[in-house]
Chain A
């Protein structure tokens, strides 16, 4: 059959159309994503440059100037020990961001892998993995984190591992469901028929098609990890005072919420701002990576 289409014999350049360029150009056109990205960038840069920007050291105490309302010298006021809240936020951000991203990275890495393996192979493997994860899920997250953290000793590293490990089951669950439904699609059978290896099917055909829930879970996970890490330090595990950390600042100042509400407000705002901008960016990224959503 000769159709008009067949006369098209020009050599067309094969473009690497997958990720990179196209995703970026679509991301740039998404206002929410751009705003989110800019805020994240500002927060990250500010925290990295904390020693340069911060007007005081985070542990610079002076009881004579405690509980100062925000003013020209202390733009966010001072706390119960007379420390500058703004400086503490900047230094604290370094820890909080690290904990948030690294802990989420740990849980995403293991959670996604376990969920994908579980969903793809099914049967006994699925049963074993999911039942083990169910046991972990049955233990309250914080309790699990405390247990891990207690056995690893105090410190940021163990806090990150503790928080990361305790949210692996959520990731695994969130990945496994969509994997099960994508697995039934005919293109997975087609991949088997062209002799694609299991790893190729999982990483090339299954995971790219379940990205949306993963990205959403990651953006939420960062926020959850910051809070969870704060709870740990509140209990004396994880980050140790006087090292500042957003969650710890928030919980330490809650006693003063009635008389000195600004002490709670600023760390709270910092966490909220980061979470919102992460969500904005995550949503934009999810849309940009889906070739079906055309501009």
Chain B
């Protein structure tokens, strides 16, 4: 497939520590992102979303983190076979990342404009002056007047800072943007501004997006494809329509049931009982079985593979969903 920009195959990442033993944070995850596509990666705290993102960029924390299997291919080239120098060029230039807290990405003692222009200057063969002009352009593009080029991060509000970070991430026109909960720390009206802006910029620049979030509402507005992740495994993946209109996995259904619906008058929510399993002590069989109302004996013993339930790429990891509702 020539249009596949990023292909993750069978990725497993573990954290090892003396106190808690081996933590299986990501287990055999495979994902593809096509050019220009928005993929949403949805899961709860501790599901392994951020670990996957760091794994893609080869930033798994050392020494406790270990990639135990799998490959990450960017335009067909295995990132894990690159040298550290090549990787540094790819990060920022080809693949950029935005974190939840904008302050982690901004240097508090440098003017924001300088931080963006330095980023451009490091990655492109242009003069400092040209880089500064381009940085000013980027600021205008994310809706910050270029006049504020010389201001410091603390002079901006939370939403503005996140925009600066986005400007920085997009400064070198990366082909893939990984956004880890980019709007979670923002107020809804500001979130709306930032999402709106990201959508516009994406169209303009043709960037692909891996959006990591826990918010199904944000996914519905931003994404073409969705992968639901639970205890380090993908339990359901498909187009946004598959996931929202033809939900198959009991966990995905549980997520929707847990959301208060603004347009209905339901009296009680239908939450998922129990808690996510401890990644240092995952159950045998289906990881969701202990919380699942349809759990059978087979579920506790053996896990279903991710199996297609429709011809156009809707995959589910659930015995019941595949068998009772018909596989392909």
**Contact at A4–B273, with CB atoms within 8 Å?**
yes
Question: What's the nearest-Cβ distance from chain B to residue A290, in Å?
Answer: 14
Alpha-carbon gap, A245 to B274, bound state (A): 65
**Contact at B274–A3, with CB atoms within 8 Å?**
yes
**Contact at B274–A4, with CB atoms within 8 Å?**
yes
**A294 lies within 8 A of chain B by Cβ:** yes
Interface of chain B residues 8 through 31 with chain A (CB within 8 A): 19
Find chain A residues with CB under 8 A from B273 CB: 3-4
Alpha-carbon gap, A294 to B274, bound state (A): 24
Alpha-carbon gap, A1 to B273, bound state (A): 9
Question: What's the nearest-Cβ distance from chain A to residue B266, in Å?
Answer: 15
A293 nearest CB neighbor, chain B only = B19
Alpha-carbon gap, A1 to B274, bound state (A): 12
Question: What's the nearest-Cβ distance from chain A to residue B199, in Å?
Answer: 37
Find chain B residues with CB under 8 A from A295 CB: 19
Alpha-carbon gap, A294 to B19, bound state (A): 8
CB 8 Å contact bits of A1-16 with B (1 = contact, 0 = none): 1011000000000000
Alpha-carbon gap, A294 to B20, bound state (A): 10
Interface of chain B residues 242 through 284 with chain A (CB within 8 A): 271, 273-274
CB 8 Å contact bits of B71-93 with A (1 = contact, 0 = none): 00000000000000000000000
Find chain A residues with CB under 8 A from B274 CB: 3-4
Alpha-carbon gap, A4 to B274, bound state (A): 8
Interface of chain A residues 1 through 36 with chain B (CB within 8 A): 1, 3-4
Question: What's the nearest-Cβ distance from chain A to residue B293, in Å?
Answer: 13
Interface of chain A residues 260 through 295 with chain B (CB within 8 A): 294-295
Alpha-carbon gap, A3 to B273, bound state (A): 7
B19 nearest CB neighbor, chain A only = A294
Question: What's the nearest-Cβ distance from chain A to residue B168, in Å?
Answer: 31
* A contact set with B: CB distance below 8 Å: 1, 3-4, 294-295
* B contact set with A: CB distance below 8 Å: 19, 271, 273-274
- Enumerate 7 A-B pairs (CB-CB under 8 Å) in ascending A order: A1-B271, A3-B273, A3-B274, A4-B273, A4-B274, A294-B19, A295-B19
Closest 4 CB pairs of A and B: A3-B273, A294-B19, A4-B274, A3-B274
